[in-house]
Amino acid sequence: MEMEQLTARFNDAVAVRGSNQLATGMEMAAAPGRRADDDMEELVARLVDVTVCDDGPAARGEAACAVRIRLPDGRVFDKVFGAERPVAALFRYCGSAIAACGMAGRPFRLVRLAGGASEEIPPRGDASLQDLRLDRCIVYVVFSP
């Protein structure tokens, strides 16, 4: 099945989520010879297969810090934190993403690329995400040996 079709069906499913129309719409959209449940499971596995814990959005009036997180298996998450949040919030979020993807229990580091060099993000300290200039950065999760 084409990715565009899956994406369109996912958007339709999200629009009617929790309604009785979901089952009807999925049955009508199912490919011949396949059950709607099978298509939905495939769709969920490809597009929304993890649930990540969240410290909540930036507080009202707090500056935002948008970070893209890339896991070792290639999955990417976009998250907006409050810019004044401690770096521990980023580590908690990444740990939750790792656990949700079935890779729990593995020690990891966070690294960002800066001008052709890599820079490890310290896991402890009083530094905020803003202090570390992480707004609009891609942070790579690297498993420690």
- Average pLDDT, whole number, for the chain? 74
Is the confidence at residue 49, as pLDDT, over 60?
A: no
Digit-coded pLDDT (tens) for 106-119: 899 999 988 888 89
Rounded CA separation 111/109 (Å): 6
Question: Of 28-37, 49-58, 97-106, where does mean pLDDT reach its minimum?
Answer: 28-37
Is the confidence at residue 16, as pLDDT, over 50?
A: no
Digit-coded pLDDT (tens) for 61-82: 789 999 999 999 999 999 999 9
Given this model, what pLDDT does residue 116 score?
A: 84
Given this model, what pLDDT does residue 22 score?
A: 39
Written out in words, the top-level CATH class of the domain with range 64-143 is alpha beta
Q: Which two tokens stand for residue 91?
A: 């580590």
Given this model, what pLDDT does residue 113 score?
A: 86
Given this model, what pLDDT does residue 30 score?
A: 47
First-to-final CA distance of the chain? 38
Rounded CA separation 90/84 (Å): 12
List the chain domain ranges: 3-47, 64-143
For the question of whether the overall pTM of this predicted structure is more than 0.75, the answer is: no
Strand partners for 77: 69
Contact (Cβ atoms closer than 8 angstroms) between residue 87 and residue 122: yes
Contact (Cβ atoms closer than 8 angstroms) between residue 85 and residue 129: yes
Is the confidence at residue 1, as pLDDT, over 50?
A: no
Task: Look up residue 140 and give its DSSP letter.
Answer: E
